[in-house]
Chains A and B, each alone.
Chain A
Amino acid sequence: MEDPPLQKIAISGPTLASLIQRFSTSPSAIHGLLFGHVTHLPLTLSDDSSSSAPTLLATVTGFLCSPSFYDSSGTVLPSALRPHSSLLGWFSARRRSPLRPSMREFSVTSSLSSLSQFSSPIDNSNPNLNNSNYREQPFLFPPCVFLLLASPPSDNAPSSHVHTHEYRAFQFRTGPQCFEPRSLDVVNIGPAFRGHYGAFSSNSRLPALDCGLRGSPMDEGSDERLSGMKQAAKDQRELDGCAEGFEIGRLSRMVGSDARSYTEGLEELYQKMLVKIQNLTSLVEKSSAMVLEQENHNRKLKHKILRSAAAE
């Protein structure tokens, strides 16, 4: 089936900002995967004749910088991608180069779009769609979104601290094998988004933690089943650890008429929350430091290769 055309692509402001930040701090070009969801745009009241116009909106809500999920000829290695229900496509960010898809970017996008096992479901639950329309809608959307970030090649002043970032979004059409430019809306920027607060739906889902111990333990328990249960128990313990001191019974006393006598308890709760957040931030800080250290180490190794090439 022909992949459905998008009307436009949207990206949340923090995601775009974080992507640009990641790009501008990286020593060289970066690329990675884009995640998000595909929905139908709310129908606008207009002539019915325009009903053939595409109504799909792809919203990018997250990205992951990935070192390599394709080989040197630009063929995507499916084994390097984990099945993910919300893979929308990928991005490439390279400095001082024209804002046009390159030879390799075309190959990678073409290869990625053709991997139907990574298609994401289209959310057809829009109440504006009538039933007859609903049936005709395709249900799957291949990972065919490509976001290109670049900085102008002519930006030559070495002392300049003004960095220009340009970006363009494309949908790759698997039929004619070509890029089609799409407008990229930054969510929450501009007056067009005021209406969105009314129809808010959360962007990210909770992780699918398999916590319930379903089935009887007397089942023909294969190893897989057992390890699944172990994983679930581990996840449950982790969740319990997060919720420590916030048991439901205790929380329920915080609301209602007897809440007044628990001010002390409430303060204690906030204290604990603050400590937890502090712990989390220091954890993030430490792990970032480790990531940086590892990246520097990798760079040194690369430079070693470079020098060994020079020696030959």
Chain B
Amino acid sequence: MAAGPENVPPFIAAQLSHLLSHFRLTLKVEQMWSGDKYNSGPFDRFSLLIPYCLDFIKWDVIFDAESPSAAPDVIFGPEDEDFHPFHMQPSPESNNNSLSDWNYKDPSRLLTLIQFLRDQYVLYQRKRVGEVDDDRLKFEISTILSREGIEMHMSSGGEKLEEVKFAVPLLDMNINKMVSCCPWRYSQKIYLQVVYPVGRKYTSAPSAPRLKLVSSPELKAAFSIDDVKLPPWLDGMCLAEYLPNLEEYLGKQVLEAVSLIEVRRHFIEALASPFGRPVEADPVFCRKATFLAASGVFTFLVHFLIPTQFPKQQPSIMLQSSQHFNSQMAPMKSRLISDYPWSPRWEPLLMAERICEFLGDEALNFKRQCSEGQVQQ
């Protein structure tokens, strides 16, 4: 299937590109195709993946290449047969919806429509979860509903056990503002995913819900939530008790992670004294730096990969020859080295000097490996 933008009629392309670049969440177009009999006409329908409750919902948006001035239609997922965004109680604020006065010349219409539909979807799922006959769940909802941005999802897939998922946004802090020269387009957030099994009415004590921390993927550059150990969920606990402790603990971790950026910056600056100015360095999160070094006539690059846990964890080093190439004409590289002498208590300058000392010997090893062609390719 020829999936090129040249197959998309301009009146759809304009709406779609405006939607993708202005929506407050990262949308994905999974597939575009044609409603033509032989699938050879212009692409006028696509599947849109919309982030919801730490997962995606898939909606098919159906335009008609034969009627460019007509509003698009949307087909929701098979699980959401009861979702009727324009027929919900209480009915949406006004009938002045984005469909009734559709104007194909205004490229922001699709954005308005999808935004409205997603807002309605949040309410629809909230209503579904509210209708679940489970006392603990009803209590949990009543205590956390006031949290801004909370999303819930009710999954009932045939034989699967019914589950209710919550996505609770944590920490009322703007992480984007804490990082100087922040490159993130979207606001970075950490969520707690809470999954309650429902429908097991006859179990004596309600079991602990499944808990998982989820963050936006870009946050990994500064702070890895995989390193966070969740506090235990005690018997008979509820979310309203659990969340404040978690948030306090997590808040400290984030602050520390942000302060560690500066520690890494000092380290890179210290490296400059034995190695000279870096060829390349990550100026925002200070996770990477590359220096040019020479041992006799053998010149090579030294790549430093600095973990978020620095200085507790030592940086990984990789050498790359400027003079040896493999059969694909790619420069030869060493393995990742992270077993050299190290102490987190050293001053940055001492760290830099010890690494420089270690590399003096390692460079000779690497040079010999390069000429014998032993290194990984």
- Say whether A156 contacts B62, CB under 8 Å: no
- Say whether B37 contacts A163, CB under 8 Å: yes
Query: Hey, which chain B residues are within 8 Å of A100, CB to CB?
Result: 75-76, 78, 81
| B328 interfacial contact with A, CB 8 Å | no
In the complex, what residue of chain A is closest to B47 when comparing beta carbons? A153
Given A72-B70, A72-B99, A103-B73, decide whether A110 and B33 contact each other with a Cβ distance below 8 A: no
| A40 interfacial contact with B, CB 8 Å | no
Q: How large is the interface on A (under 10, 10 to 19, 20 to 34, 35 or more residues)?
A: 35 or more
- Say whether B68 contacts A74, CB under 8 Å: no
Tell me the complex Cα distance, A75–B39, Å.
31
A-B contact count (CB 8 A): 110
Query: Hey, which chain B residues are within 8 Å of A28, CB to CB?
Result: 35, 64-67
- As a 0/1 sequence over residues 87 to 113 of chain B, the CB contacts with chain A under 8 angstroms (1 = contact) are 100000001010111101100000000
Query: Hey, which chain A residues are within 8 Å of B11, CB to CB?
Result: 306, 309-310
| A15 interfacial contact with B, CB 8 Å | no
| A188 interfacial contact with B, CB 8 Å | no
- Say whether B86 contacts A97, CB under 8 Å: no
Choose among B39, B64, B67, B84 the residue that contacts A156 (Cβ–Cβ < 8 A).
Answer: B39
Query: Hey, which chain B residues are within 8 Å of A309, CB to CB?
Result: 10-11, 68, 104-105
Interface residues of A in 1-57 (CB under 8 A from B): 24, 27-29
| A106 interfacial contact with B, CB 8 Å | yes
| B227 interfacial contact with A, CB 8 Å | no
Query: Hey, which chain A residues are within 8 Å of B69, CB to CB?
Result: 305
Given A71-B100, A97-B45, A309-B104, decide whether A103 and B76 contact each other with a Cβ distance below 8 A: yes
Tell me the complex Cα distance, A155–B40, Å.
12
Choose among A72, A96, A106, A306 the residue that contacts B9 (Cβ–Cβ < 8 A).
Answer: A306
| B123 interfacial contact with A, CB 8 Å | no
Tell me the complex Cα distance, A74–B75, Å.
14
| A168 interfacial contact with B, CB 8 Å | no
B293 to chain A, nearest CB (A): 54
| B262 interfacial contact with A, CB 8 Å | no
Query: Hey, which chain B residues are within 8 Å of A261, CB to CB?
Result: none
Given A72-B70, A97-B60, A100-B75, decide whether A110 and B39 contact each other with a Cβ distance below 8 A: no
- Say whether B35 contacts A96, CB under 8 Å: yes
Query: Hey, which chain A residues are within 8 Å of B68, CB to CB?
Result: 302, 305-306, 309
In the complex, what residue of chain A is closest to B68 when comparing beta carbons? A306
- List 26 A-B residue pairs with CB atoms under 8 Å apart, sorted by A's residue number: A28-B67, A29-B64, A72-B70, A72-B100, A73-B99, A73-B100, A75-B100, A94-B35, A95-B37, A96-B35, A98-B78, A102-B73, A102-B74, A103-B73, A104-B71, A104-B73, A106-B87, A153-B45, A156-B33, A158-B38, A158-B39, A158-B40, A302-B67, A305-B69, A306-B9, A306-B11
| A259 interfacial contact with B, CB 8 Å | no
In the complex, what residue of chain A is closest to B1 when comparing beta carbons? A156
Query: Hey, which chain B residues are within 8 Å of A305, CB to CB?
Result: 68-69
B37 to chain A, nearest CB (A): 7
Residue numbers of B with Cβ under 8 A of A are 1, 9-11, 33-40, 45, 60, 62, 64-71, 73-76, 78, 81-82, 84-87, 95, 97, 99-102, 104-105
B327 to chain A, nearest CB (A): 39
Choose among A153, A159, A177 the residue that contacts B87 (Cβ–Cβ < 8 A).
Answer: A177
Tell me the complex Cα distance, A305–B11, Å.
10
In the complex, what residue of chain B is closest to A107 when comparing beta carbons? B86
Tell me the complex Cα distance, A264–B95, Å.
72
**Beyond A103-B85, A305-B69, 12 extra complex contacts between A and B, CB < 8 Å:** A97-B62, A98-B60, A98-B78, A100-B76, A100-B78, A106-B87, A177-B87, A178-B82, A302-B66, A306-B9, A310-B9, A310-B10
In the complex, what residue of chain A is closest to B34 when comparing beta carbons? A96
- Say whether B99 contacts A312, CB under 8 Å: no
Query: Hey, which chain B residues are within 8 Å of A310, CB to CB?
Result: 9-11
Query: Hey, which chain B residues are within 8 Å of A306, CB to CB?
Result: 9-11, 65, 68
- Say whether A96 contacts B85, CB under 8 Å: no
Tell me the complex Cα distance, A193–B281, Å.
80
Query: Hey, which chain A residues are within 8 Å of B75, CB to CB?
Result: 97-98, 100, 102-103
In the complex, what residue of chain A is closest to B71 when comparing beta carbons? A72
B23 to chain A, nearest CB (A): 19
| A299 interfacial contact with B, CB 8 Å | yes
- Say whether B67 contacts A72, CB under 8 Å: no
Query: Hey, which chain B residues are within 8 Å of A110, CB to CB?
Result: 87
Query: Hey, which chain B residues are within 8 Å of A104, CB to CB?
Result: 71, 73-74, 99
